[in-house]
Amino acid sequence: MAFINTKTKEVQVKIVYVGPGRGGKTTNLEYIFSRIRHRIGSDMVSIKTQGDRTLFFDFLPFELGSIKGYNVKTQLYTVPGQVKYNATRKLVLKGVDGIVFVADSIVDRRENNIKSLENLRENLQFYDIDITKMPIVLQYNKRDMESQGVAILDVETMEKDLNAEIKAPSFTASALKGDNVIPTVKKAISTTIVGIREKLL
């Protein structure tokens, strides 16, 4: 749940990038950070614990303005995708306001995407959150791999696998090249803000 500071008139929104291992979550954050580094006062922080890694940074979103007199500060997190780091993923999801699910478009990773989404559903349920009621954006990453002769899933298949129930906004993307990375995070922020707006009385 967003942290609302009535004294400083600031709302802190937490958006977490989740998805299968090596799907492009960290690449997304690194690209975003490189594009807006001049706008933020903090470095991207990496917390490492016994081989796994959590990345995060916070910034005041561009082109948002204030919401009912409150400035919105966005915190972006990413978590390790590997199965063995589920405890870390669950911990980082505590207090989450919005999610970007980064799916891997490579054909061989199809099952990993489905399992990762199911894991997200279970971890949200741990905090009594229904995934269908959570502000979420899907990103179908690595679309550029097709030009290198790698077999990738068609968007229709990925929508059927991952978005049939959630019915969330979705983007095709290449985090490595930066294609649709910024539109993804902007949509995630705006979708999350809509859910928070009612709380700012």
Q: Of the given ranges (4-13, 59-68, 74-83), which has the lowest mean pLDDT?
A: 59-68
Q: Of the given ranges (53-57, 107-111, 176-180), which has the lowest mean pLDDT?
A: 53-57
Q: 74, 42 in Cβ contact below 8 A?
A: no
**Confidence grade of residue 6 (pLDDT, cut at 50, 70, 90):** confident
Between residues 87 and 155, the one the model is more confident about? 155
CA distances from 190 to 12, 68, 117 (A): 13, 14, 22
* Bridge partner residues of 15 (DSSP): 76, 98
Q: Say yes or no to pLDDT of 51 above 60.
A: no
pLDDT of residue 200: 66
Q: Say yes or no to pLDDT of 41 above 90.
A: no
Angstrom distance (rounded) from CA 60 to CA 75: 9
Q: How many CB atoms lie within 10 A of CB 169?
A: 17
Q: What is the DSSP string of 96-159?
A: --EEEEEEE-BGGGHHHHHHHHHHHHHHHHHTT--GGGS-EEEEEE-GGGGGGT--B--HHHHH
Q: Say yes or no to pLDDT of 66 above 90.
A: no
Angstrom distance (rounded) from CA 65 to CA 110: 39
Give start and end residues of each alpha helix (H) in 133-198: 155-162, 181-197
Measured in residues, the chain has a length of 201
pLDDT of residue 75: 86
Angstrom distance (rounded) from CA 120 to CA 18: 8
pLDDT of residue 40: 64
pLDDT of residue 54: 66
Q: 175, 27 in Cβ contact below 8 A?
A: yes
**SS3 state at 7:** coil
For residue range 165-194, what is the model confidence (pLDDT) as tens digits? Answer: 999 999 999 999 999 999 999 999 989 988
136-141 vs 10-18, strand pairing mode: unpaired
For residue range 139-174, what is the model confidence (pLDDT) as tens digits? Answer: 999 999 999 999 999 999 999 999 999 999 999 999
Q: How many CB atoms lie within 10 A of CB 186?
A: 15
pTM of the model: 0.90
pLDDT of residue 97: 94
Angstrom distance (rounded) from CA 177 to CA 191: 24
